[in-house]
Amino acid sequence: MSFAELLDHVGGMGRFQIIYAILLAIPVFMTASHNLLQNFIAATSEHHCHDLLRVSVPMDSNQQPEKCHRFVTTQWQLLDSNATVTNLTKLETEPCADGWVYDKSIFTSTIITEWDLVCDSRQLKQMAQSIYMAGVLAGGIIFGGLSDRFGRRSLLIWCYLQMAVTGTSTAFSPSFTAYCIFRFLTGMAFSGIAMNAVEWTPTRTRAVVGTMHGYCFSIGQCILAGVAYAIPNWRWLQLVVSLPYFICFIYSWWFVESARWLVIAGRPDEAVKQLQRVARINRKKEEGDKLNTEVLRSNMQKEIASAKSSYTFIDLVRTPVVRRISFCLCFVWFSTSFAYYGLAMDLQNFSVNIFLIQLVSGAVDFPAKFISVLTIGFIGRRFTQALTLILAGLSVLANIFVPQDLKTLRTVLAVVGKGCLAASFNCVYLYTSELYPTVIRQTGMGFSNTMARLGSIIAPLVKMLEEYIPFLPLIIYGAAPIISGIAATFLPETLNVPLPETIEELKSPSLINLSSYGSRSIPLIIFVALF
């Protein structure tokens, strides 16, 4: 029997697995908070120079105080309501020299108000989010290798502790530089938590557990809106979403090391003990007592041989079929993450209640993911992947032509776009695991996740381009998923198709439908997206 069959032998999705899945899901609620936290702790409040408003600060075209300039000389004549003052626009101005006054009616304190990240320093806000996402990328690379060397359990415990310590330390940051450093380390821990879930879920229920964790992330986005509304001070908000990880760190010591990893690492005696422990919790003690190292080795020869096989990134581009799969998935993963965080981290741009739009943008994931599950299962992966990306891109591009005063319509289009991108994420995780052969599946998933992290790093930086052309970021955020949606139509369909175990099997005539590409479906998918 395989390792999957061994899990069924000791209880399958029994009491142990259910408890395990719940304990792993609890931290997921808060990972959403850390990913999107800067929408609130880095919210930009209305501000103007720290001077006498009437006589020192000029008005902009909307008759609001200028945010970044003041008069060089005090204009006392403006206090006289009967005086006629002309050519105010010709009066000499200069940058604010004595700090700023901030509107604290919504947020009493943010990193913007504390460290004056406005005017000439306003781009540091976007830089801070990119630094956090860079930490997520670094964590995936570093902790991925360490988990293969030291085990899943020990790395997961460490990442809970690191998330708790660095997240809490962020709340006490004495400077913006320290804030960025702690946020980078928090991003690393987030990546370790996301990728190092212990491997005790049976194959047949893995999709269900994965979907549950996905919905937990969406619920976490909704919870963040309420918590941020209740806690308008950024330091307290940062503290509240970080301290619970100390609890996760404490109960994670109960976790069991992956028996599969123990066998592959040459520690079958420990693997037997862990399987027997799981069997006892699942009330399958007799079945667990029948296991020994010889049984384990004989039934996991395939996994052991596969682990010893040496495959690298080069194997993702070695043959034409795999090369095309990798090339298309590169676009899909990058664009999905790029556009997703481009929208999710720009809530203030829609000029509506930021707490309400955070709640709605989180809630839209539920119907979006549910519909994608239906289309994935009945219509196919390729159609779902391409349609969600193209529809998301069109929704983003449509906002370019909507006037700024139509706030509701702009918000609806943005929420629809984010929902489509959430559905795209839901599809691409499954699709990628089915496209790559077993021997390079983990390598392919690692490469794909790297592309997604690069997209999330670049997304905040693109927002800076609005300083030069206001609608340029929307063009880029919209065009990227449309291009990747078209690229997705060239991927093979995997619905009801036997999956390949080796790279050579992709060349087999029996799997010719797996290596055929559906460019003819492009017009149909675009038509459906438009109408």
What's the DSSP call for residue 65?
A: B
Has residue 521 got a pLDDT over 90? Answer: no
pLDDT band at 204 (very low <50, low <70, confident <90, very high): low
Quick: pLDDT tens for 216-229: 888 988 899 999 99
Residue 476 has a pLDDT of 92
Residue 158 has a pLDDT of 92
Region for 209 from its dihedrals, namely left if φ exceeds 0, alpha if ψ lies in -120 to 50, beta otherwise: alpha
Instruction: Out of 52-56, 310-314, 375-379, 514-518, pick the least confident.
Output: 514-518
pLDDT, averaged across the chain: 80
Average pLDDT of 200-214? 71
Quick: pLDDT tens for 106-159: 889 999 989 988 888 888 888 998 999 999 888 888 887 777 778 778 888 999
Q: Comparing 309 with 327, which gets the higher pLDDT?
A: 327
Q: Comparing 271 with 161, which gets the higher pLDDT?
A: 161
pLDDT band at 510 (very low <50, low <70, confident <90, very high): very low
Rounded alpha-carbon distances, angstroms, from residue 515 to 324, 331, 440, 492, 509: 10, 19, 17, 6, 9
Rounded alpha-carbon distances, angstroms, from residue 460 to 212, 215, 222, 352: 29, 25, 22, 20
d(CA 530, CA 486): 14
Q: pTM for this one? A: 0.83
Residue 527 has a pLDDT of 47
The answer to whether residues 78 and 58 touch, using CB atoms and an 8 Å cutoff, is: no
Average pLDDT of 38-58? 78
Average pLDDT of 167-193? 92
d(CA 2, CA 5): 5
Q: Comparing 169 with 49, which gets the higher pLDDT?
A: 169
Token representation of residue 365: 């994931």
Token representation of residue 184: 């980078």
Average pLDDT of 230-240? 93
Rounded alpha-carbon distances, angstroms, from residue 245 to 52, 253, 466, 520: 46, 13, 37, 49
Has residue 514 got a pLDDT over 50? Answer: no
Has residue 276 got a pLDDT over 60? Answer: yes
Q: Comparing 283 with 79, which gets the higher pLDDT?
A: 283
d(CA 161, CA 242): 10
Instruction: Out of 56-60, 243-247, 301-305, pick the least confident.
Output: 301-305
pLDDT band at 197 (very low <50, low <70, confident <90, very high): low
CATH architecture type of domain 1-37+112-308: Up-down Bundle (1.20)
Token representation of residue 358: 């955070």
**Sequence-ordered list of residues with C-beta below 8 angstroms from that of 376, at least 6 positions apart, any chain:** 384, 426, 427, 430, 495
d(CA 526, CA 235): 46
Q: Comparing 232 with 45, which gets the higher pLDDT?
A: 232
Has residue 299 got a pLDDT over 60? Answer: yes
The CATH homologous superfamily to which domain 311-531 belongs is MFS general substrate transporter like domains (1.20.1250.20)
Range list of H helices, 231-292:
234-242, 244-251, 259-264, 268-281, 285-289
Residue 178 has a pLDDT of 94
SS3 59: strand
Q: Taking the domains of the chain in order of start, what are their residue ranges?
A: 1-37+112-308, 47-102, 311-531
- CA angle at residue 87 from 84 to 89, to 5 degrees? 130
d(CA 502, CA 318): 13
Quick: pLDDT tens for 83-109: 555 555 567 777 777 788 888 888 899
pLDDT band at 500 (very low <50, low <70, confident <90, very high): low
Percentage of the chain exceeding pLDDT 70:
81
Residue 186 has a pLDDT of 93
Amino acid at 161: L
Q: Same CATH topology for 1-37+112-308 and 311-531?
A: yes
Helix (H) or strand (E) run with residue 138 in it = helix 123-150
Percentage of the chain exceeding pLDDT 90:
21
Helix (H) or strand (E) run with residue 71 in it = strand 69-71
